Amino acid sequence: MKTIILIVLVIIWNTNAKEQSVRIKGRFTCHGLPAQYAEVQLVSKKIIGGDAFARDVFSDPSGAFEIAGYIDWSKYSKIDVRLYIWHNCFEKPYEQSDPCKNWFEFKVPNIFINDGTLAQKKWELGEVKLETPKYGKTLDACD
């Protein structure tokens, strides 16, 4: 009897679990200039089993970036996706000091989380001014 219940639960899970995807496009500036080579990471936060679909890209010489990823067998609700940004832009240009990096995160709104492996809806983040203080902005250790 326990085996039958287990098989039924696995079948229910497999029919309800689905793939979900995210696609984000934007551009970074630092004091009016393109923020070249800022690191962008897409992560799906999970309570159990650790984070999923960590994907890294860097902004191009014009400060632009586009990142996409998907996770399969996601839970029954929308995935909790975060966009992490690491950069060398400080509020005052003379504060910059390698190898220190500022970082912050955006929570991706649920309306931009797509069903399936190819994201149809794209979150157009627009221009992000990295020198502007952001809630939760943190300075990495400068070892």
Amino acid at 140: D
pLDDT score at 93: 64
State how far the Cα of 73 lies from the Cα of 93, in Å rounded to an integer: 45
Q: Taking the model in full, what pTM does it have? A: 0.75
Among 77, 84, 124, residue whose Cα is nearest residue 104 = 84
**What are the structural domains, with CATH classification, of the chain?**
2-139 (2.60.40.3330)
Annotate 41-99 with DSSP letters as a single string.
Answer: EEEEE-SSS--EEEEEEE--TTSEEEEEEEEEEE-SS--EEEEEEEE---SSGGG--TT
Per-10-residue mean pLDDT for the chain, 143 residues long?
Answer: 64 60 94 93 70 82 93 64 87 65 87 87 93 67 55
